[in-house]
Amino acid sequence: MTQEALTSARMARPSLVLPRAHGYGIILVILAFMAALPLVASTYVLTLMVPFFAFAIALLGLNLLFGYTGLLSFGHAMFLAIGAYTTAAMTSKLGIMSFELILLTTVAVSVLVAIPVGFLCVRYTKIFFGMLTLAFGMLLHSFLFKFYGITGGDQGMRVLRPLLLGMEIEGGKTAYLTGPFYFYALGLLALLSFVMWRIVQSPFGLHLKAIRDNEQKAAYLGVRVARMRLYAFVISGIYGAIGGSILAISVGLADPEMAYWTQSGNLVFMTVLGGSASFAGPVVGALAFIILQDEVMSLTQYWRFVMGAILILLVIFFPRGLTGIADSIAARFRGGQ
């Protein structure tokens, strides 16, 4: 490696690039596109988009920690599983079918878990934070996997279709997922992305960015570092659990693989694919990942190889992800650099 390459590599610290303000516009475009999609797209494409809404919500939460606070969680699948199993337990065990009630419970459960777990995790940063979250995620996984009597073990737990706004939906599973549930999940994504946009623009969001950029300086200026990080952890846990709830309904099953560490790895993969430095990055990343995975899987059974190779190329050549590439193209058109 030449000295020049070394210097530029040293300067390329993508997590330190400030999220761009225009990010919300991209999300609005995607939301409008998704709202119009049922008019033209096939049922298959629509069933593919429901998991996208789920991942997009979960990733918006993950990126509040990763992109904005500078904490890389490698156990975030834990919250997906919490959402999924809460939904499964309520619909198939307790017979509570109102989706609104399920969402509220999901939020409550994720907060109850995120507060103690976050309290222990946010005292550390960097690799130690990643490892501790990984350990908690795997703790939940081995509980879900091994305690057959409570969780159904590797069989998982069935998720029944809940009522939306108290209404019974006629028709089969596909009609439910591509019709009312599609729009419900899209609505949730719209709402939650707006809330997250407000969060990152708020003084609280600024605190997080200050902590990420210089923890000592932020503390010196009066930012309560640990508390702010804990809030971010809890919010991101709530988003993860809501995503997990939607995901479980679209799959019809909550299984322990949702909490496995490779799932957490995939979440981070999606975030980097879209670009962690952009507000819209995680949403773009989730969409790109789902389309890409579907395409590659239809081409070859060795799709993991292709996805792994894409991830490696991305990390080496485009660490700012798709939104980063779009940004630099836009900058070139404007005549900058």
Partner 1 sequence: MASLIDIGLGGVFHAAIIFLVAAGLQLVFGVQKIINLACGSFYALGAYFGITAIAFANSMGMSPLLVLPALVLAGFIIGLVGIPIERVLRTVYRRDESFQLLLTFGLLLMFQDVFRFFWGPTPQTLNNAYLAYGTANIFGAQVPTYNLLVILASILIALGLGAILQRTRIGRIVRATAENRDMTEALGVDSKKVFAVVFTVGCMLGTIGGALVVPAGAASLEMAVELVVEAFAVVVIGGLGSMRGAVVGALIVGLIRAVAIIVFPEAEILSIYLVVIAVLILRPAGLFGKAAA
For residue 168, give both structure tokens: 């019974």
Residue 249 CB-half CA count within 13 A: 34
Is the Cβ of residue 24 or residue 260 nearer to partner 1 in the bound state? 260
Shortest Cβ 259–partner 1 spacing (Å): 12
Is the Cβ of residue 27 or residue 144 nearer to partner 1 in the bound state? 144
Shortest Cβ 145–partner 1 spacing (Å): 8
Is the Cβ of residue 225 or residue 268 nearer to partner 1 in the bound state? 268
Is the Cβ of residue 41 or residue 219 nearer to partner 1 in the bound state? 219
Is the Cβ of residue 72 or residue 283 nearer to partner 1 in the bound state? 72
For residue 249, give both structure tokens: 């309904």
Which residues does residue 331 pair with via DSSP β-bridges, in sequence order?
none
Shortest Cβ 221–partner 1 spacing (Å): 22
Is the Cβ of residue 183 or residue 303 nearer to partner 1 in the bound state? 303
Is the Cβ of residue 115 or residue 195 nearer to partner 1 in the bound state? 115
Is residue 275 left, alpha or beta, with left meaning phi > 0 and alpha meaning psi from -120 to 50? Answer: left
The torsion angles phi and psi of 178, rounded to 5 degrees, stand at -90, -15
Contact 137, 76 (CB under 8 A): yes
Shortest Cβ 299–partner 1 spacing (Å): 13
Shortest Cβ 209–partner 1 spacing (Å): 16
Query: In the 8-state DSSP scheme, what is residue 171?
Result: S
Q: Taking every pair of C-alpha atoms in the chain, what is the biggest distance, in angstroms?
A: 66
Q: Please state, as a whole number, how many other Cβ atoms lie within 10 Å of the Cβ of residue 230.
A: 20
Instruction: Please state, in angstroms and rounded to a whole number, the distance separating the CA atoms of residues 146 and 141.
Output: 8
For residue 192, give every residue at least 6 positions away whose Cβ sits within 8 Å of its Cβ, in sequence order, or none. 57, 60, 239, 242
List residues near partner 1 by CB under 8 A. 1, 6, 9-10, 12-15, 66, 72, 74, 120, 124-132, 134-136, 138-139, 142-143, 145-148, 260-262, 265, 268-269, 272, 301-305, 307-312, 315-316, 319
CA 54 to each of CA 14, 254, 313: distance values in angstroms, whole numbers, following the listed order: 26, 14, 26
Instruction: Say which amino acid occupies 28.
Output: L
Is the Cβ of residue 45 or residue 311 nearer to partner 1 in the bound state? 311
Contact 55, 267 (CB under 8 A): yes
Instruction: Please state, in angstroms and rounded to a whole number, the distance separating the CA atoms of residues 190 and 199.
Output: 14
Shortest Cβ 230–partner 1 spacing (Å): 15
Shortest Cβ 40–partner 1 spacing (Å): 33
Q: Please state, as a whole number, how many other Cβ atoms lie within 10 Å of the Cβ of residue 146.
A: 12
Shortest Cβ 59–partner 1 spacing (Å): 15
